[in-house]
Chains A and B, each alone.
Chain A
Amino acid sequence: MPRWHERFVALFCALALLLAAGTSVSAQSYDEALAKFATDSYADTDAGITGVATSGNPLAAQVIEALQDGRLLFSADDKKVFIRDRSGAILDASTGKAAAAAPANLKPVRVNNRLRRSIEAALGGLTLLSPDPGKRYEAAQAVFKSKDPAALPALDTAIGRETDARVKRALQEARAAVILTMPDTKEPDKVAAIGVIRDRGDQDSRGLLAALPGNQTEGVQRVAAEAISAMDNRLAAWNVAQNLWYGLSLGSVLLLAAIGLAITFGVMGVINMAHGEMVMLGAYTTFVVQEIIRTSFPWLFDYSLAIAIPLAFLVAALVGMAIERGVIRFLYGRPLETLLATWGISLILQQAVRTSFGPTNREVGAPNFMSGAFQLGGLTITWNRLWIIVFAGLIFAALLAALRYTSLGLQMRAVTQNRRMASSMGIHTGRIDALTFALGSGIAGLAGVALSQIDNVSPNLGQSYIIDSFLVVVFGGVGNLWGTLVGALSLGVANKFLEPYAGAVLGKILLLVLVILFIQKRPRGLFALKGRAVEA
């Protein structure tokens, strides 16, 4: 009986061994490759990377990523390798489970630049088959750049399996890049590859074609040259589109900053040098709202801007109304004095913010829907810029509607056109002045919310926009919101088109000079008000 029992155990063991043998080829090679990481030599590590990458083990990607981030540890004594995951826990690299007892003397596996390249190539190959389409896409891009012939089999498999059209195209482009750079490819294959790369058409693919070795056959050379010129044309077109987009983005920022000024300066004729500070107050309101949310209500973070928008409007509008009632009211009809007094106010506001928040830049975070970017053809469009353009458009439309359809707007226009007549008709002109100024300031506050997303929130924030905003209003024509729109967009676009030729600073100078010359030609701006009111 006991003997039988022993036999049974032996049989069981043999069976277990047999079963294990089926999977053990890869397990063995994986473990062998893993052991190479523990020798602390660059050559062995390199071999280890290749070994792990080709083992097909599901842990392979995790191990190599850990190696890349310096989280792959080894113990020199018992030749074992461990992964420290992102939470700091130590995993056994051969099983992927938490290590029971991690040795004390763990050291990270060292990498050098050559190894980093192998790591990237290996990761590219590994993640080509990842279940996440985003990762596959990135892997395809990585192969496109590395042009590693070793990735060709993996690419072919991946192309065969791929269902996502975008990823499939990226994979095919990567394959074309690999094929094109392999020395023994036949001419028809090369021509086909050039076709694929030509369709991709970005700066990298142009570089790839331009860098083709000179020993190509005539046919390949001709096709490549054609592809390059076609791509150049397309790149130039995208470049124009890019400049337009940047210009539009800058224009929308200028519009936001200038539109409040168009109300106070354009409609009321009041020079408000503290306008920039209203923008700054809006930005700081956003900062304060986010701070409160961060410390007390973290789940509200994505709504922080939505909360900040009305608050910024209110804060800036109240400060604006206080300025109008406290100072500007006494200076109507004396524009130069108004300019000086509001400049004084702007100094006070800046210093007040500097003493309460410190002179350094404050960080305002972006909610989820505003971070990141997406590709549109050859354009990279960041969400925050897009939202700011939308925001500027909405504010512009809302303001137009408010002036056109509300009774406040009607009274505002009446006071602008003929103050004494409006007063005779029973309009409280003083109240309207205060409200108009509050509206203009409030809109500056809204601009501050938007600018906090793309600019440094510092006490000097407003200063950097005030001259530009005045130029926009003066260029567009005083007293005309459409003029402000056209002025802002054309200045923004002109700025971005001048920049590549003249550099950022010189472009700005050129633009200033152009605007100055333009004002000489048309002293009242693009869309000038005509008639007697102009001289008053």
Chain B
Amino acid sequence: MITRRLLEAPDGRGWVFLTIVLGAAVLVPILHLVVPASSPFHISTSVMALWGKYLCYALLALSLDLVWGYCGILSLGHGAFFALGGYAMGMYLMRQIGTRGVYAHPILPDFMVFLNYKELPWFWYGFDWFAFALAMVFLVPGALAFVFGWFAFRSRVTGVYLSIITQALTYALMLGFFRNNFGFGGNNGLTDFKDILGFNIQSPQTRAVLFSLSAIALALGYLIARAVVQSKAGKVLIAIRDAESRTRFIGYRVENYKTFVFTLSACMAGLAGALYVPQVGIINPSEFTPANSIEMVIWVAVGGRGTLVGAALGAVLVNYAKSTFTTGLLAPYWLFALGALFVFVTIFLPKGIMGLLPQRAARSGADGAPATGRAAQPAE
């Protein structure tokens, strides 16, 4: 039943997207592992790691699009959920190092020995166990989003006010995680990972599996998000986005819908973070910086908000541009380009790249990109 729901959800574009993502999940590991390095079709470790990272970003952008594109909640704190998921995974990976650290302490990770911890803080218990860590990847960001959303949406904090306090949220977390006595490694974060579930994290096979998992997670995330926005609840979400007060007056409990979609989105962001950390090999508090979270918003805006596929596309495009830009001669000009992108997209491309594609006439009114401009503002 649920499977059927999920499989019915994608539209034509969605199937193209799913085919590409799942095709990559199968093909890229084969091209990396089986095809010899001399062949022009061989994919090197670095390229695969880079694209694995993009896939995580795409999942993150997807989660942000779910709240921003379909419910009008502009979260400037999604980096916090991403980083929390990443930290949960990082803690598991830290525990897997065991006695192979520099100090070879039987219980404590290196940074705790270094910072004079006497015993393991209570919140590190359980992270030896993968299933527990995996649960935390969803639970911690989800719980934070639920509590935050519960308070914020109930007291009807909306629009830019909400954006600013989500930004303050990630800022506060950043300050906290930068502290050494917070128990998460201070500004060095967690790194030096050795293995995951017994497999060496550096080996090509593990990396290939992680890449496939990221692609599969992205596909699943897309299917779930798509199923949500196609459902009846999804219609209510769009109604909330376009006219919150009216929806409330019709009799819907707006705050419940918002809290639900915000929490779901945070869980997806947490998963993206958890897949990101083993692939890049480090998680540190800079992931919490407010600037990071705003950058995520531009990925969605570039691809086209309220399109899901567009968000993923935007994340990959912007990050690909960033990698190319920041490694070459043009590095000092990357921020100019990024800044110009912000301005250009908001003024000239309010529907993003997806808005440039020919519109499907029949359904665009219901679930297409939100209409923009003064005329579209509800007269409340």
A→B interface (CB under 8 Å): 271, 273, 327, 330-341, 343-348, 350-352, 354-355, 463, 467, 470-471, 474, 505-506, 508-509, 512-513, 515-517, 519-521, 523, 535
Contacts and interface: CB of A to CB of B under 8 A. Distances in A.
Interface stretch (B57-65, B342-350, B361-369): B342-350
A348 B335 contact: yes
Q: Is the interface of B mostly helix, strand, loop or mixed?
A: helix
Nearest to B344: A344
A512 B171 contact: yes
B301 to A, nearest CB: 6
A483 to B, nearest CB: 14
B377 A327 contact: no
Contact of A519 (B165, B172, B301, B342): B165
The 4 A-B pairs at the shortest CB distance, nearest first, are namely: A344-B342, A347-B339, A348-B339, A351-B335
A332 B347 CA distance: 11
7 contacts: A334-B374, A340-B346, A347-B339, A355-B332, A470-B164, A520-B155, A521-B155
Contact of A505 (B161, B179, B343, B373): B179
Contacts of A338: 346
A339 B159 CA distance: 11
B155 A347 contact: no
Contacts of A344: 298, 338-343, 346
Given A348-B340, A350-B335, A467 B294 contact: no
A509 B160 CA distance: 21
B64 to A, nearest CB: 13
Contacts, number: 128
Contacts of A513: 172
A474 B157 CA distance: 11
A204 to B, nearest CB: 31
A291 B380 CA distance: 54
A512 B172 contact: yes
Nearest to A473: B164
A474 B164 contact: yes
Interface of B: 74, 151-152, 154-157, 159-161, 163-165, 167-169, 171-172, 175-176, 178-179, 245, 290-291, 294, 297-298, 301, 332-333, 335-336, 338-343, 345-347, 350, 372-374, 377, 380
A343 B342 contact: yes
A337 B172 contact: no
A505 B174 CA distance: 10
Q: By CB atoms of chain B within 10 A, which of A327, A337, A535 has the most?
A: A337
Nearest to A463: B291
B157 A334 contact: no
A535 B333 CA distance: 41
Contact of B343 (A341, A350, A515): A341
Q: By CB atoms of chain A within 10 A, which of B159, B179, B341, B347 has the most?
A: B347
Nearest to B153: A520
A508 B333 CA distance: 34
Nearest to B341: A344
B157 A523 contact: yes
A348 B335 CA distance: 6
A343 B345 CA distance: 12
Q: By CB atoms of chain B within 10 A, which of A336, A355, A508 has the most?
A: A336
A354 B345 CA distance: 24
Nearest to B377: A333
Contact of B168 (A332, A348, A471, A535): A471
Nearest to A338: B346
A520 B372 contact: no
B74 A339 contact: yes
B315 to A, nearest CB: 15
Contacts of B74: 336, 339
A348 B341 CA distance: 10
Q: By CB atoms of chain A within 10 A, which of B346, B372, B377 has the most?
A: B346
Contacts of A348: 335-336, 339-340, 343
Nearest to B289: A463
Nearest to B179: A505
Contact of B380 (A343, A346, A355, A535): A535
Contacts of B373: 333-334
B175 A523 contact: no
A345 B168 contact: no
Contacts of A351: 332-333, 335-336, 339
